[in-house]
Homo-oligomer: A and B are copies of this chain.
Amino acid sequence: MIGRLNHVAIAVPDLEAAAAQYRDTLGATVRAPQDEPDHGVTVVFIELPNTKVELLYPLGDNSPIQGFLDKNPSGGIHHMCFEVEDILAARDTLKAQGARVLGTGEPKIGAHGKPVLFLHPKDFNGCLIELEQV
C-alpha cells in the first residue's frame, strides 16, 4: 500500500535559522517559505536527491504544531509522509484493521495540493504518519 517516502517533517522554533542551517551548514537545496493558512504552518522544503525534508513553523493562533513546540522547544521530527495511490482505499483498509485516522476521516488538501490524511501515532509506534495521494 505505501509507496515512496514523500517527506520527513521537522517542527522548528526558528524557521529562518533552520533554513539557513540546511542551506549553508548542510549544503542542501532549500526552497522559499510558503504559508499554508489552512494547515496553520509556514513550510520550507529542503530538496534531497530522493525525498524532501519539510521544515514546519506555526502560522496563526491555532497551529497544530504549537503544542509540539511547547513540549519540544528545540524542535524535533514531527511526522513522516508516505505516498499512496488511492487515499480513500488506503483509509478504508487501515480502518478495517483498527487503525485510527485523525480528524473527520475525510482527506484534506495538503501542502502539495494533494489529498492527505494523518494516522494516530498511538497505532503506529508513536509516529505521526501522513498519507498523501499522488
Contacts and interface: CB of A to CB of B under 8 A. Distances in A.
Interface string A96-134: 010100000000000000000000011011110000000
A18 B125 contact: yes
A72 to B, nearest CB: 5
Contacts of A21: 124-125
Contacts of A125: 10-13, 18, 21, 55, 74-76
- Secondary structure at the A interface, as helix, strand, loop or mixed, is loop
Interface in A19-42: 21, 24-28
B72 A126 contact: yes
A27 to B, nearest CB: 3
Given A4-B48, A10-B125, A75-B125, 19 more contacts: A1-B28, A2-B27, A3-B48, A4-B50, A5-B8, A5-B53, A8-B8, A11-B125, A13-B125, A21-B125, A25-B97, A25-B99, A72-B126, A74-B121, A74-B122, A75-B127, A76-B121, A76-B125, A77-B77
Interface of A: 1-5, 8, 10-13, 18, 21, 24-28, 48-51, 53, 55, 72, 74-77, 80, 82, 93-94, 97, 99, 121-122, 124-127
